[in-house]
Structure 1
Amino acid sequence: MTDEVAKTVEECARAAKQAAPSLATASNEAIDTALGAMADRLLTSKDSVLEANHADLEKARADGMSAGLLDRLTITEDRLTGMAEQLRLLAAAPHQERSVPISSLDDGLRLVERRRPVGVIGANYEARPNVTVDVASQLVKSRNGGVLRTGSAALGSAQRLLDEVIAPALSAAGIAPEVIQLVPRAEREAAAALVSLPGLVPLVILRGSGESTRSLATEAATHGVRTLAHADGGGVLYVDEAADAETVRALVAGSLDRLGVCNRLNLLLIHTAVYDQLWPTISGALDERSVRPSLPPHEHAIGYEWALDSEHEATVTVARVADLTEAVTIANEQTSGLAAGIATEDAATAETFFDAYQGTGVFWNAPTRLLDGFKLLGVPETGINLDRVPGPRGPVTYTDLYVRQYAVLPAER
């Protein structure tokens, strides 16, 4: 890592920490006003944002970026409008209670749980400029400062969003705009620098391809920095022998509307008793989405995530299974644990599947694409955490970005 890159990241972190108190002490009204202003500015600055995004796309095409990655990088007018709508919903969402009564103690004392901001939270993400707004808005709602770092492909779009949408909206609401920082460096070294500052940025949200994100999480651990990592994905669908053919068709097609996202259908497991009967329906749904089935014998791990393969994104792994037990064992042991669904008309079978699957999201006759903060919870997410330890799991939103403080007080008079 060069000294220049490390210095730039540290300067961003110090600026965010210095400005953080203006956000931590802001009123609920000021925060919601800032979020509403971001939504308004997204629309009034539409042409400028789309211009910056067009420049990023032109450069990415010239560099040979795959179609799936280009889709992630693209901001369309519809997507921009959707970003504004999500900001308005977030502004209208209730704030976390900052002090929650727990119990009464001896000697007339009472125990209260206080919820405090972390301080400054980092975020590292790849070529998805919409994540700049998603993460910044969640940090603002939770009263945390932020240091954002994105890949070189999306840096121009992200910088325009910060300069013309996020910072002016904060300033107009009386909040120091420096509280949200964007690292102005394209070097990958900036990501490593971001996870090495425990005194300034104790928590970093990591989103991106598996290997790079896992590597950053390991690097963060050596520096005592905690992470909320979203490294792997891939939805699983088990088609039970009691599945309805039309439901299966709709689930397969509905789960493949976008191929470069983590919660798309990745692995299709079909009960052997209905495989031949349902295959024409399933094959037709795959054809509808121009997706190729990877059939046995597989030359790859059965849980291989196609969304991360720029050469073969339009692929779904298909396999026969003898029963639910085999299907859920594969989903638990050979996939990321992001999400799995079952297609069946048998409620008892669905309940057995729900009890057996250990992953973050489980679905009955519903697509795994629903494992998304906005679709499930009505607010944007910072990412989807797959940890199997206590803490925020699944879509992480503003309601998760705090630390607990226990306070013992005299009895109320």
Structure 2
Amino acid sequence: MSTASSIPEAIPEAIAVREAAERAAAAAPGVRAAGGPAIDAALRTAAELLREHAEALLAANAADVATAEQGGMAAGLLDRLRLTPERLAEMAHQLEVLAATPEPPLQHAVRTLDSGERVFERRVPVGVIGAVFEARPNVTVDVASQVLKARSAAVLRTGAAALGSARALVELVIAPALARHGIPEGAVQLVPTPGHAGADALVGLPDLVPLVVVRGSGDVTRRLSALGAAAGTRVLAHADGGGVLYLDASADEATVERLVTEGTDRLGVCNRLNLLLVDAPAYDRLWPVAEKALRAGGITPSLAPHAHPLGHEWALDSGAEAHVTVATVAGPVDAALTAARETSGLAATVCAADEDAATAFIDAYTGTGVFWNATTRLLDGYKLLGLPETGINVDHTPGPRGPVTYLDLTLRQFVVLPPA
């Protein structure tokens, strides 16, 4: 194993990350040995502790929010950073749902060879899984719970603005819940220092942290993915987002208004309405309805000619989150191709009364999630699958795609046994 002196320039953040990774690696066998009932019991206890320590957790978060406000953080980012009693209650509820979720068998039969040997496939833990994510305190619990449910230990690195909140969640909720059920407290480690050097270091420790989940802006995730690839670390990147809504000529006004309103209820999230496409022949009828709904929510439409790419993600545009790009298209297939070409391919909705138009859009769109008369805000692990997620993967290659849950965070292993 490398020593701190081998870390480039002995960067303090890198040293702290390696030390956290070493503690997680030491705890990982205990997580695997604990088994499902103990992990689920710890998750239920964590839900209880979230409620028990709500006052202290909200106070820690309020300090983070106050500091961020003083630093000029934009409204959309502040919304992601802020915890409320309702959000804490939802976090606790999701932990209980995860704990109650029956797991598929760890091993299942595949086939019997002609020579009689029996082939099985089983799921085995990764060991230690890292995570780099934005300043959203709830993600601390989401990721930690998913990694634990997958029988691995975690090393978490959150955005600097949420560090106080994340520390309170680990120290008051996660670690005590683990200890109460005989699971090593060190199984969930929080990188204690802010700064990008910590994220860079986390993707550079394949000997300790072979898999790192990375969330954030496209530029950040691409850079960390490249660093991880160079080091030999598998990086599961959850990057660019931005939902698309296509208004077909067959759409009715009430559904248009509903989908625009539902798609812009929160502006700092990846699955919000970002690009609004309107069927050109119906523009004069549908655009006034959509515009009224946008402006009622305080949203400014960005109309042609655009000074930015069509897929520009407003959720990541600090201070300009309250925008939606608007463009015209020539029917459902053109809309689907435009959505796939101009955005990350996270999610797209077709608003249509005509089933043929909706089917044409669905068949032509190649993104992660496609919806008919339902908002892209539904592209979320808990909403779609009933499980919290580590993020949403928009890769166009085989592997976990869409909302990633604990089921995607294990390794496949083949077991061959003698004839029965």
TM-score (norm 2): 0.97
Conservation of the 8 A alpha-carbon contact between 1:198 and 1:224: yes
- Whole-Å separation in 2 of the counterparts to 1:253 and 1:323: 23
**Matching of residue 67 in structure 1 with residue 75 in structure 2:** yes
Match of 1:393 among 384, 401, 416: 401
**Matching of residue 304 in structure 1 with residue 312 in structure 2:** yes
Match of 1:86 among 86, 94, 101: 94
For 2:337, the equivalent position in structure 1 comes to: 329
For 1:117, the equivalent position in structure 2 comes to: 125
Deviation at 1:390, TM superposition (A): 1.2
Conservation of the 8 A alpha-carbon contact between 2:277 and 2:326: yes
Conservation of the 8 A alpha-carbon contact between 2:336 and 2:362: no
- Whole-Å separation in 2 of the counterparts to 1:74 and 1:333: 34
- Whole-Å separation in 2 of the counterparts to 1:201 and 1:137: 17
- Whole-Å separation in 1 of the counterparts to 2:195 and 2:304: 41
1:283-338 deviation per Cα after TM superposition (whole angstroms, max 9, x unaligned):
11101211010000001001100000012100000011122222112111111110
- Whole-Å separation in 1 of the counterparts to 2:9 and 2:303: 46
For 2:84, the equivalent position in structure 1 comes to: 76
For 1:145, the equivalent position in structure 2 comes to: 153
For 2:103, the equivalent position in structure 1 comes to: 95
- Whole-Å separation in 2 of the counterparts to 1:2 and 1:321: 53
1:207-356 matches, cutoff 5 A: 207-356=215-364
Question: Runs of 4 or more off by more than 6 Å in structure 1?
Answer: none
Secondary structure at the counterpart of residue 69 of structure 1: helix
**Matching of residue 108 in structure 1 with residue 112 in structure 2:** no
Match of 2:388 among 380, 396, 407: 380
Conservation of the 8 A alpha-carbon contact between 2:75 and 2:319: no
- Whole-Å separation in 2 of the counterparts to 1:31 and 1:264: 33
1:358-393 deviation per Cα after TM superposition (whole angstroms, max 9, x unaligned):
100000000000000011111110000111111110
Q: Read off the aligned partner of 1:72 and give its amino acid letter.
A: R
- Whole-Å separation in 2 of the counterparts to 1:288 and 1:30: 49
Match of 2:181 among 173, 188, 200: 173
Secondary structure at the counterpart of residue 274 of structure 1: helix
Secondary structure at the counterpart of residue 68 of structure 2: helix
**Matching of residue 18 in structure 1 with residue 26 in structure 2:** yes
Secondary structure at the counterpart of residue 107 of structure 1: coil
**Matching of residue 198 in structure 1 with residue 206 in structure 2:** yes
For 2:55, the equivalent position in structure 1 comes to: 47
- Whole-Å separation in 2 of the counterparts to 1:74 and 1:259: 14
For 2:412, the equivalent position in structure 1 comes to: 404
For 2:4, the equivalent position in structure 1 comes to: none
For 1:357, the equivalent position in structure 2 comes to: 365
280-289 vs 116-125, greater mean Cα deviation:
280-289
Identity of aligned residues (%): 56
- Whole-Å separation in 1 of the counterparts to 2:125 and 2:367: 28
Deviation at 1:109, TM superposition (A): 1.1
RMSD: 0.9
Match of 2:166 among 125, 148, 158: 158
1:190-218 deviation per Cα after TM superposition (whole angstroms, max 9, x unaligned):
00000000111011000112211211111
- Whole-Å separation in 1 of the counterparts to 2:237 and 2:158: 15
Give aligned pairs, total: 412
TM-score (norm 1): 0.98
- Whole-Å separation in 2 of the counterparts to 1:6 and 1:285: 48
Secondary structure at the counterpart of residue 305 of structure 2: coil
For 2:3, the equivalent position in structure 1 comes to: none
Deviation at 1:52, TM superposition (A): 0.5
Secondary structure at the counterpart of residue 34 of structure 2: coil
Secondary structure at the counterpart of residue 405 of structure 1: strand
Deviation at 1:2, TM superposition (A): 5.0
- Whole-Å separation in 1 of the counterparts to 2:201 and 2:273: 34
Q: Read off the aligned partner of 1:347 and give its amino acid letter.
A: E
Conservation of the 8 A alpha-carbon contact between 1:95 and 1:141: no
2-11 vs 384-393, greater mean Cα deviation:
2-11
Conservation of the 8 A alpha-carbon contact between 1:149 and 1:190: yes
Deviation at 1:96, TM superposition (A): 3.2
Deviation at 1:411, TM superposition (A): 3.0
